[in-house]
């Protein structure tokens, strides 16, 4: 049993041999097997990215960051001011939603301003 473990341990680090494909001809093209089948659609979408999509993405990212910051700050404030019982949950929710809305608004507005500029 010890020899078998030792053999498998040494086999793990050794590189595998590549299989030779004898059916392949020298002038043939290699087929992409990634399964995407998009045909370069991602490149076209990146070029035609509209200003509205950028503003929406900015607002969503701002909302996510603002929600995280608001949740942390709301939790800190709820314990700092010793808010009783279930009102803590309400207070944390209010600060989370309020902070997410403000951050999202400002990041969306910043994206809108930046969208008109060309560098």
pLDDT in tens, the chain (119 residues): 655 655 655 556 555 555 555 555 555 555 555 555 555 555 545 545 789 999 999 999 999 999 999 999 999 999 999 999 999 999 999 999 999 999 999 999 999 999 887 76
Residues 6+ apart with CB under 8 A from 70: 95, 96, 97, 98, 99, 100
32 within domain boundaries: no
51 within domain boundaries: no
Question: What is the pLDDT, as a whole number, of residue 117?
Answer: 76
Name the token pair of 25. Answer: 């001809």
19 within domain boundaries: no
Q: How many domains does the chain have?
A: 1
39 within domain boundaries: no
Question: Please, are residues 58 and 111 in contact by the beta-carbon 8 Å criterion?
Answer: yes
33 within domain boundaries: no
Q: Which domain holds residue 85?
A: 67-119
What whole-number distance in Å separates Cα of residue 14 and Cα of residue 19? 16
111 within domain boundaries: yes
94 within domain boundaries: yes
79 within domain boundaries: yes
Question: Please, are residues 97 and 68 in contact by the beta-carbon 8 Å criterion?
Answer: no
Name the token pair of 50. Answer: 């509209």
0.75 exceeded by the pTM? no
């Amino acid at each position: 049993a010890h020899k078998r473990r030792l053999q498998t341990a040494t086999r793990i680090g050794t590189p595998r041999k590549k299989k030779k494909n004898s059916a392949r001809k020298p002038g043939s093209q290699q087929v992409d097997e990634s399964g995407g089948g998009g045909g370069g659609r991602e490149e076209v979408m990146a070029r035609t990215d509209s200003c509205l999509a950028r503003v929406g993405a900015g607002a969503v990212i701002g909302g996510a960051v603002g929600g995280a910051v608001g949740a942390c700050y709301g939790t800190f404030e709820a314990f700092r001011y010793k808010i009783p019982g279930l009102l803590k949950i309400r207070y944390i929710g209010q600060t989370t939603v309020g902070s997410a809305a403000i951050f999202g608004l400002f990041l969306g507005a910043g994206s809108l301003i930046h969208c008109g500029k060309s560098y």
